[in-house]
């Protein structure tokens, strides 16, 4: 089975589970590019970027740039049925889940260049 077929067979929430880690890894790499900093400070800055509200903004930012396939994966993640945390806005949380599903999908497919390209676009807007 090729990677794309495998990725398409995974549930959107499974893709989001992986994509959450992939997205956060990109954030942590960006935060550490400038060198060492107190870990507590790095953590707070990472949380500001990885939260549902920031990811929702990121999803809106890149949506016009997505291919048909990428948009389909994003929508599958956004529309999946999951529990929304009490402190989260449901629309923002679902949009963030869609973004995470997209990053998980790109990672499973081995499309690391596109994954990095989309993240760089996001970082320009919500990063430092």
Which residues does the annotation mark as catalytic? 20
CB atoms within 10 A of CB 69: 13
Distances (CA, A) of 89 to 2, 74, 95: 37, 18, 10
Q: Which H or E element spans position 77?
A: helix 68-78
What's the Rg (C-alpha) of the chain? 14
Contact 122, 61 (CB under 8 A): yes
């Amino acid at each position: 089975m090729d990677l794309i077929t495998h990725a398409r067979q995974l549930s959107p929430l499974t893709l989001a589970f992986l994509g959450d880690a992939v997205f956060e890894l990109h954030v942590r790499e960006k935060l550490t590019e400038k060198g060492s900093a107190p870990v507590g400070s790095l953590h707070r800055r990472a949380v500001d970027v990885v939260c549902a509200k920031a990811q929702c903004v990121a999803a809106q930012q890149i949506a016009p740039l997505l291919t048909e396939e990428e948009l389909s994966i994003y929508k599958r993640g956004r529309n999946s049925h999951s529990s929304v945390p009490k402190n989260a806005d449901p629309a923002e949380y679902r949009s963030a889940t869609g973004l995470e599903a997209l990053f998980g999908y790109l990672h499973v497919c081995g499309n690391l260049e596109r994954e990095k390209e989309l993240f760089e676009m996001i970082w320009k807007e919500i990063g430092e």
